[in-house]
Amino acid sequence: MIINYNFNIQRLSLFLVVFNIFILFKELPMAITGFALSTLVIPYLIKNKKVRSLLKPTLLFVGLFLLKYVFKTFLVLEVDVAFVMILASLKLWELEDIDDHFNMFLILALFESCLFLINPTFITFFLGLLKIVVFFYYILKIRNYDLSLLNGKRLLFLIAPSILLSLLLFYTFPRFTQGFLNSSNNQLLFSGNNSDLNFKKLGPLSLSSKIVFRVYGLNQEQFPLPHLYWRESILWDYFKEEWRTAYLNLKAEELEVKKPFVNYQIKLLKDYNEFLPTLDGNSHLVKSNHDFTYYSEGSFRLKNISRTNILYDVNTGYQKLIKTFLPIMERKGLRLKSKNKEEILQLILQNKALSTLSESDKLNLAIDFFKSRSFEYSLSPPAYLDVEDFILHGKKGYCSHFAASFAYITRVLGLPGRIISGYQGGEYNSFDKSLIIRELDAHAWVEVYQSKIGWIKVDPTAFVSPERIKLGASGFNEKLEPFINLYYYQLPKSFIKFATLNHFSQWMDSLDTLFNSSIFNFDKDRQQQLLNSYLPKSFSLGWLFVISLCGSMPLFWLLLTWASRKKLDPDFKRYQLFLKEMESLGLIKDEHETLTHFKNRCLAHVDFNSKYYQYILIETDFYIGKFYK
């Protein structure tokens, strides 16, 4: 039996390591995952133990060198995960002894912890716990433990104190979820914000279904959800065929919040984000758990980039135009260094005099010219040399192509224009009443300044592909790329056709949100908010900890007393009740008195016709017959 379980645990270990490697396939570099998989194959090719013992430290050294080479900029979390993965692969070489199995269990437990840190979702936590329990079950079997002894009562006795103590520590000690990156320079280097838009390297902003942020406080009846625009970074500067953020360094004054401002809350989930997305319009951040700077152009930027979740409350004048306009905005909104500027201007004007056109005429001319190019929305357009190449010769492009070219056209005509990057649309989750914005909702559009109106929104993509705007990114891409996302992998929806699939996906998504907000990201601020909501303002959190700790000790004592109490036999318990009943009549059994003698004494004490006479006969005869056969 032991040999059979030993063989099973080897196969189980191999399966778990390979399974985790494929889960991390898109999180770690190909060189790391390839090395780990190669390490798993080598033991099956080399059977000689001496050769293995020499090769093992060599491979460990190669693995460490590979980590140093691949992660040139030190990312603590990713390096740790990769190192544990390599250790697990090497440990599979030696699973012959029982101690090796236990060491493998510790490595796999560490592996699951690393996996959860890199993908903190409920399904990762649940599967990781399940994998660890199954592995531990096989270890117990190999050590010949009688698993039938682990009944419900014993398991409760083992687990309950740990749960109580964990909850006590969890809700009384602050937790910190920052510090995965080792310096602010690296945070900026690996920033995922889209503050630059290089036309030569244009691609879809993103087709991933990963959630970027969630919005609470909006509902389907309040707004046409597919038509919502979420402003993020503002791209002013056009230089060397690249649009980029050019900070005006002019902080805006505090906005006076007036109705009809819309109140809502945003939880930003995307890592390394620099710009805070807000509903398109005139926005005001009421409060935030991170410091931010608000610029007169209408954008918000975090002062310090963090990998933790960002939560902030917002008031927005929905569709209310931003009228702020300064000379520096005009200069930047008209800046355009281009070799073919005059050629494109004459192509747009068609023999009209630019000086005779009003602002509205120029805007209508820009729209008409853009529509005349007969652009098409495509997920696989050809490469273009620059913006001018796309305007003159292009046919297919993304929203970012259209936004860059339309902003170029307005600037050629003398209208200040700027690119706005952010998100368009969203998916309403009825389970937690939130609006989900994903990476595939990433979008780019244009704002053009009109002196009598302010900065007005123009979405060139709507001219090219109205269906893209009407359906929203999720619905539009659903028609083009109908995939189900499972972990990091995509399955065509044609394989699975369940009416409730989308509801299940939303339910899992809301479960992940609850798990992240309640457990994984339960930090010092949320701890204090939660505890202060139940405590008087004058009560100290330190006293709460002392009282909780002292109060938990009697609970542990009661639990231990209950667990150690002997379980009485039902028949003996019946006898004990009989003795108590007699004691109520003043008849107490002496320690050395036989039951027969006690029976006779009780019968002499009660009346022959009373109810107790027959009761004494029945109970004593039952006990004597049961225990003195």
Do 108 and 215 fall into the same domain? Answer: no
Residue 498 lies in a domain: no
**248: nearest Cα among 232, 238, 234:** 234
Q: Per-residue pLDDT for 191 more than 70?
A: no
Residue 540 lies in a domain: no
Do 116 and 194 fall into the same domain? Answer: no
Task: From 484, 514, 544, give the residue that closes a domain.
Answer: 484
Do 141 and 194 fall into the same domain? Answer: no
Q: Per-residue pLDDT for 184 more than 50?
A: no
Q: Do 419 and 404 meet the contact criterion of CB atoms below 8 Å apart?
A: yes
Residue 276 lies in a domain: yes
Helix, strand, or coil (residue 212): strand
Helix, strand, or coil (residue 234): strand
Q: Per the structure block, which two tokens stand in for 250?
A: 């002019």
CA 601, 602, 606, 609 torsion-angle sign: negative
When pLDDT is cut at 50, 70 and 90, the band that residue 297 belongs to is confident
Task: From 87, 116, 145, give the residue that closes a domain.
Answer: 145
Q: Picking from 208-217, 583-592, 600-609, which range would have the lowest pLDDT averaged per residue? A: 208-217
Q: Which amino acid is at 178?
A: Q
What pLDDT, on the 0 to 100 scale, is given for residue 392? Answer: 86
Distance CA 200, CA 164 (A): 58
Q: CA dist 188 to 73, 430, 512, Å?
A: 12, 36, 28
Summarize the confidence of residues 10-34 as an average pLDDT.
83
Helix, strand, or coil (residue 67): helix
Range of the domain at 9: 2-145
Region of 73 please: left (phi>0), alpha (psi -120 to 50) or beta: beta
Q: Do 556 and 161 meet the contact criterion of CB atoms below 8 Å apart?
A: yes
Query: 21-34: string of b/e by CB count within 10 Å (b at 16+)?
Result: bebbeebbeeebbe
Summarize the confidence of residues 385-408 as an average pLDDT.
86
Q: Per the structure block, which two tokens stand in for 112?
A: 């699951």
Residue 47 lies in a domain: yes
Distance CA 461, CA 407 (A): 12
Do 123 and 204 fall into the same domain? Answer: no
Q: Per-residue pLDDT for 91 more than 90?
A: no
Do 68 and 215 fall into the same domain? Answer: no
Do 193 and 99 fall into the same domain? Answer: no
Q: CA dist 225 to 146, 383, 426, 436, 438, Å?
A: 58, 33, 6, 10, 14
Residue 548 lies in a domain: no
When pLDDT is cut at 50, 70 and 90, the band that residue 490 belongs to is low
Q: Picking from 102-111, 122-131, 180-189, 597-606, which range would have the lowest pLDDT averaged per residue? A: 180-189
Distance CA 139, CA 145 (A): 9
Summarize the confidence of residues 318-342 as an average pLDDT.
83
Residue 331 lies in a domain: yes
Do 298 and 388 fall into the same domain? Answer: yes
Do 122 and 215 fall into the same domain? Answer: no
Distance CA 138, CA 122 (A): 25
- Is residue 260 reached through a cis peptide bond, with omega within 30 degrees of 0 on the bond before it? yes
As a 3-state breakdown, the chain gives helix, strand, coil percent values, each rounded to 5, of: 50, 15, 30
Summarised one tens digit per residue, pLDDT across range 32-75 is 888 888 888 887 777 777 787 788 888 888 888 888 888 765 56
Distance CA 581, CA 590 (A): 15
Q: Which has more pLDDT, 500 or 448?
A: 448
What pLDDT, on the 0 to 100 scale, is given for residue 176? Answer: 45
Do 94 and 193 fall into the same domain? Answer: no
Do 141 and 195 fall into the same domain? Answer: no
Residue 594 lies in a domain: yes
Average per-residue pLDDT in the chain? Answer: 76
Summarize the confidence of residues 89-102 as an average pLDDT.
75
Question: Domains in the chain: how many in total?
Answer: 3
Task: From 423, 455, 484, give the residue that closes a domain.
Answer: 484
Residue 559 lies in a domain: no
Do 119 and 242 fall into the same domain? Answer: no
Do 435 and 306 fall into the same domain? Answer: yes
Straight-line distance from the first to the last Cα atom of the chain, in angstroms, rounded to the nearest whole number? 43
Q: Do 625 and 574 meet the contact criterion of CB atoms below 8 Å apart?
A: no
